[in-house]
Amino acid sequence: MKFKTFAAFVGPSVFLMFLFIAAPLVSVFVGSFQLTQPVLDQIEEETCTPGFLAQTCTTTMVTRPALDEYGHIVTTTEWVGWLNYQRVLNPEAAWAAISSFDWGALMQINFWSALRFTLMFTLVTLPLVIGVGLAIALAVNNAAKSIRGPVIFVSLLPFIITPVIGALSIRWLFIGDGILTTALEHWLNRDIAMFAQAWTIELMMLFFRVWHVAPFAFVIFYAGLQTVNQDTLESAIIDGANRWDRLRYVIVPHLMPLIIFIALIHLMDTYRVFEEIVGFTSQAHVISLQWLTYDFLQPDDAGNRAFGRASASAMLTMVGIVVLLIPLLRRTWRDHKGGSY
C-alpha cells in the first residue's frame, strides 16, 4: 500500500487521536515539570455575613490574586524540574520508611498506598477473571443447546450494565443493614459492618470487578471454544488423554492468544481502577492511582486544584502501565516482524 493511500485511510482516526489524546497528553507531560501560580496580594478585607437576625462583620487579611487589564488572573509559570514528582512520591519519607521496614509509615504516603492497592487489585483480579471466565465458557459449552441462549444472556448482564450502577447495586446489598449483611449476621451470629474496615471493602471491590469483567472473558473464550479443532481432540482421546490432559494440552494452548488478549485489556483497564473507589466510597481505607490523580484535580470550595501534582501522578500512572505492558508489547513486535505478510 502506498504511503499516500495509507495516510488517507488512517488520517481521520489518527487526527482524532492526536487532537483529543496526544495533545492533552503532551500538555500533561509538560505540566508535570511546571508550576503555575497566581500573583497574590495581601489585602485587608472587611466581610459582612448574615446571622439569623443580624450581620456580623469581620476584618481580616486575605490573599487575592492580582488581575490584569482584561480581568484575567496574572500568573507566573516556572520550570521546577522534578519538584512535582517529589511532592507526589515523597522520596525521603518513603526511603526512611523502607529502610526501617516500617510498612505502616510507607502506607501513610498517599502515592505508595495507592500503588499498593492498584497493583494488588490488578494482579489478584487477573487470574480470577481468566479462571472464572474460562470456567463459565467450558460449562456453557458443555450445556445442552436449548439452555445456552438464556445462560449466555444472563451471563452477559454484569458486563453490559453501567459500571456505576453495577457498583451501586452491590453496595446497596451490603451497606448498613443491607439484606446481605443482615443475612450474614444471621448466619454467623455476630455483628458485621462491611464498610467499617479496609479488608471487607477490598473484598467487595474485588468481587465487583470480577463479577463485572468475567463475562467479557467468558464470551471471548466461548467464541474461541467454537473453533477448537475436533480432529485434534479426537486424536488426543485415541492417545488416551483424559479430560484434564485435553484441557491442558489442547484447549488452553488453542485459547492462548485469547488469554493474552484478555490479560492485555484487563491489565490496562484495572490499572486505572476508579469507579470502585467512588462506588464503594472506600477513600478512607484504600485509594487507587487514578483516584489520586482525580483527587488532585478536583477543585476544593475555594477553587484550588493541584495541576502540577496531578500531572506528575498521571505520568507516573502511565509509566506503570507501560512497564506492565512491555512483555505483551514485545510479543506484538515479534508478530509484526514475523510477518502479517
Partner 1 sequence: MKLKTLLLAGALSAVASTAMADCAFENTVPLRSLTAGFEAWNAVTAAWQECGNIEPELNQEFRTVQPQAFAANPSLYQIGGVSNGTVTPLLNQGTIRPLDDLVEMYGQNLSPNQLIRINGQVMAVAMMVNTQHLMYRSDIFADLGLDVPTTWDEVLDAAAVIQDAGVVDYPLGATMASGWNLAEDFINMFLGYGGAFLNDDGTPNVNSEAGVNALTMMMAMTDYMDPEYLVSDSTYVQQQFQQGRIAMANLWASRGSAMDDEGESQVVGLVDAAAAPMAVAGAAPATTLWWDGIVIAANITDDEAAAAFRVAMEGLDSDMVEANNDAAIWLVEGYQPGRLAQGAIATASAQPAPPAYPSTSQMGLMHTALGNELPAFFTGSATAEEALAAVEAAYTTAAQEAGVLE
Partner 2 sequence: MSTPRALRQPLGLRLTFAGFLAFWCLLAAFPIFWIGVMSFKSPVDAFAANPLDVIFGPATRAAGNGLSLLDIALGLLVLVCTVRLAMRWLPRMVSSYSPGGQMIFGWVIASVGYALSFVVVFFVILPALLGVLNPLLGPLGHPVLGLTTAHYQSVWIENAFYHNFINSLIVTGGVVTISLTVGTLAGFALARSGSNLAFWILILALVFRALPHSVLVAGYLPVFVNSAEILRPYLGDAAPTLYGQPWAVIAVLVSINQPFTIWMLRSFFQNIPNDLDEAARVDGCTHFQAFRWVIMPVMWPGVITTGLFSFLLAYNDFLVTSLLLDQSNQTMVPAIASYFNRETTTTDQVEAVAAAVSITAPLFLLVMIFQRQIVSGLTAGAVKG
Interaction residues for partner 2, span 292-311 (CB under 8 A)? 293-294, 297, 310-311
For 270, phi then psi, to 5°, come to: -80, -30
- List residues near partner 1 by CB under 8 A: 35, 37-40, 45-58, 60, 62-65, 67, 71-73, 87, 104, 107-108, 110, 175-177, 193-198, 281, 283-285, 295, 298-304, 306, 308-309
Contact flag: residue 114 with partner 2 (CB under 8 A): no
Residue in the block written with cell 492417545: 239
Closest distance to partner 2 from the beta carbon of 112 (Å): 18
Selection from partner 2, partner 1, none that 314 binds (CB < 5 to 8 A by kind) is partner 2
58 binds, among partner 2, partner 1, none (CB under 5 to 8 A by kind): partner 1
Cβ at position 336, least distance to partner 2 in Å:
5
- Contact between 205 and 120 (Cβ < 8 Å): no
Q: Which CB sits closer to partner 2, 126 or 321?
A: 321
- At closest approach, how far in Å is the CB of 26 from partner 2? 10
Name residues contacting partner 2, limited to 204-223 (CB under 8 A).
211, 215, 219-220, 222-223
Question: Residue by residue, what is the 3-state secondary structure of the chain?
Answer: CCHHHHHHHHHHHHHHHHHHHHHHHHHHHHHCCEEEEECEEEEEEEEEEECCCCEEEEEEEEEEECECCCCCECEEEEECCCHHHHHHHCHHHHHHHHHCCCHHHHHCCHHHHHHHHHHHHHHHHHHHHHHHHHHHHHHHHHCCHHHHHHHHHHHHHHHHCCHHHHHHHHHHHHCCCCHHHHHHHHHHCCCCCCCCCHHHHHHHHHHHHHHHHHHHHHHHHHHHHCCCCHHHHHHHHHCCCCHHHHHHHHHHHHHHHHHHHHHHHHHHHHHCCCHHHHHCCCCCCCCCHHHHHHHHHCCCCCCCCCHHHHHHHHHHHHHHHHHHHHHHHHHHHHHHHHHCC
Which partner in partner 1, partner 2, none is near 94 (CB below 5 to 8 A by kind)? none
Q: Least distance in Å: CB of 1 to partner 2? A: 5
Q: Contacts with partner 2 in 46-105 (CB under 8 A)?
A: none
Judged by beta carbon distances under 5 to 8 A according to partner kind, the member of partner 1, partner 2, none in contact with residue 338 is none
- Residue closer to partner 2 by CB (options 112, 174) is 174
Residue carrying C-alpha cell 497528553: 25
Residue 277 touches which of partner 2, partner 1, none (Cβ within 5-8 Å per kind): none
Residue 9 interacting with partner 2 (CB under 8 A): yes
Q: How far is the CB of 76 from partner 1 (least distance, A)?
A: 8
129, 213, 250, 258: residue in contact with partner 2 (rule CB under 8 A): 258
Shortest gap between Cβ of 125 and partner 2 (angstroms)? 16
Q: List, in order, residues 6 or more apart from 117 with CB less than 8 Å away.
A: 202, 286, 287, 288
60 binds, among partner 2, partner 1, none (CB under 5 to 8 A by kind): partner 1
In the list partner 1, partner 2, none, the entry touching 166 (Cβ below 5 to 8 angstroms by class) is: partner 2
Nearer to partner 1, 156 or 175 (CB): 175
> From the list partner 1, partner 2, none, which binds 161 (C-beta under 5 to 8 Å, kind-based)?
partner 2
Site residues (CB under 8 A) for partner 2, limited to 133-152: 135-136, 138-140, 142-143, 149, 151-152
Under a CB-based contact definition with an 8 Å cutoff, are residues 267 and 126 in contact?
yes
Beta pairing partners, 77: 36
